[in-house]
């Protein structure tokens, strides 16, 4: 069977079945971060992300922004689990034609963002490569009572997001700010039942929460916050690399979160029983059944 027929998530599941973990692992593959036992009050978070020329950026893009993105996507994973990033290693595959000036700019992007978030870059690797490839492995930590996973959504929860959606490819995918501050605010002041960062599309990443939580959901198309560069709700639902937070909270907390003037939080839907599946309601109050569509590598 080809990779295309197996699909990205089918391949991940194929590999997951081979993985064996011991008692030091609280949560392995299947969430934004692996969750490892650390001490009585905290878990350690562990994530890695690879960005590849021609898939996640082009050589026409600013090397500094490319380096920044390489670290930012992993910080976004830590945020989705409610944690704080601490230590990273960075591995880079460089084309032989890459100039020293560009390599320095690439490093500026990585180290500049690391400094902003207090992340220690503690090592990595460099290799020759036909394409520019950057792989970041990032360790973080989270208090046990503030850990957020994809698997906790409950029937009746309100579905909420940070920021706006659509048009990411026009620049946001290189310049986004990981919603670390928003995640820490939420987990300190509210009960967040589930959370994920939107990297592969709003519909598809909501699907990950629904699968892990064994739940369904309804989305209200009129409530989807569109970015200034996007007019189509359909595009906004499937657009990847937004790196906003998608989360669910008990109904009685949603209005207080939405009213918070400090951050941009929006209500977009509701968690339903699993038998409901995933549906959306348009401006004419008509239901549509939905699939978990979004970006997939295969």
Q: Between these two residues, 11 and 289, which has the higher pLDDT value? A: 289
Q: Which CATH number fits domain 3-145: 3.30.1330.10, 3.40.1360.10, 2.30.40.10, 3.40.50.10860?
A: 3.30.1330.10
- pLDDT at position 224 over 50: yes
The domain spans of the chain are: 3-145, 148-289
- pLDDT at position 8 over 60: no
- pLDDT at position 16 over 80: no
- pLDDT at position 258 over 80: yes
Task: Kindly state the average pLDDT of the residues 121-143.
Answer: 97
Task: Kindly state the average pLDDT of the residues 178-188.
Answer: 98
pLDDT attached to residue 15: 61
| Whole-number average pLDDT of the chain | 92
| pLDDT tier, 295 (very low <50, low <70, confident <90, very high otherwise) | very low
Could you give the CA distance from residue 144 to residue 147 in angstroms, rounded to a whole number?
6
Using a pLDDT cut of 90, give the percent of the chain over it.
79
| pLDDT tier, 297 (very low <50, low <70, confident <90, very high otherwise) | very low
Could you give the CA distance from residue 159 to residue 194 in angstroms, rounded to a whole number?
9
pLDDT attached to residue 96: 94
- Evaluate if pTM is beyond 0.75: yes
Contacts of 199 (CB under 8 A, 6+ apart): 73, 76, 205, 240, 241, 242, 243
Task: Kindly state the average pLDDT of the residues 212-234.
Answer: 92
- Per CATH, domain 148-289 is 3.90.650.10: yes
Could you give the CA distance from residue 292 to residue 203 in angstroms, rounded to a whole number?
5
């Amino acid at each position: 069977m080809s990779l295309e027929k197996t699909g990205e998530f089918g391949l991940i599941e194929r590999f997951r079945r081979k993985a064996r973990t011991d008692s030091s692992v609280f949560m392995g593959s299947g969430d934004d971060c692996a969750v490892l036992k650390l001490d009585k009050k905290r878990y350690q978070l562990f994530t890695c992300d690879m960005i590849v020329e021609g898939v996640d950026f082009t050589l026409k893009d600013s090397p500094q922004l490319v380096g920044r993105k390489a670290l930012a996507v992993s910080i976004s994973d830590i945020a989705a689990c409610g944690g704080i990033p601490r230590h990273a290693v960075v591995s880079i595959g460089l084309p032989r034609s890459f100039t020293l000036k560009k390599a320095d700019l690439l490093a500026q992007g990585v180290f500049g963002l690391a400094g902003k978030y207090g992340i220690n870059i503690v090592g990595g690797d460099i290799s020759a490569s036909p394409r520019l490839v950057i792989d970041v492995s990032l360790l973080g930590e989270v208090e046990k009572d503030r850990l957020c996973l994809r698997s906790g959504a409950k029937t009746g929860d309100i579905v909420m997001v940070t920021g706006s959606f659509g048009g990411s490819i026009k620049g946001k995918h290189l310049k986004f700010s990981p919603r670390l501050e928003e995640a820490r605010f939420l987990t300190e002041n509210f009960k967040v039942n589930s959370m994920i960062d939107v990297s592969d599309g709003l519909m598809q990443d909501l699907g990950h929460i629904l699968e892990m939580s064994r739940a369904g959901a309804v989305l209200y198309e009129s409530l989807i916050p569109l970015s200034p560069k996007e007019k189509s709700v359909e595009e906004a639902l499937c657009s990847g690399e937004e790196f906003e937070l998608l989360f669910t909270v008990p109904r009685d907390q949603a209005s207080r979160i939405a009213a918070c003037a400090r951050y941009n939080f929006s209500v977009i839907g509701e968690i339903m029983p699993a038998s409901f599946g995933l549906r959306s309601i348009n401006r004419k109050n008509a239901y549509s059944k939905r699939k978990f569509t979004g970006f997939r590598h295969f």
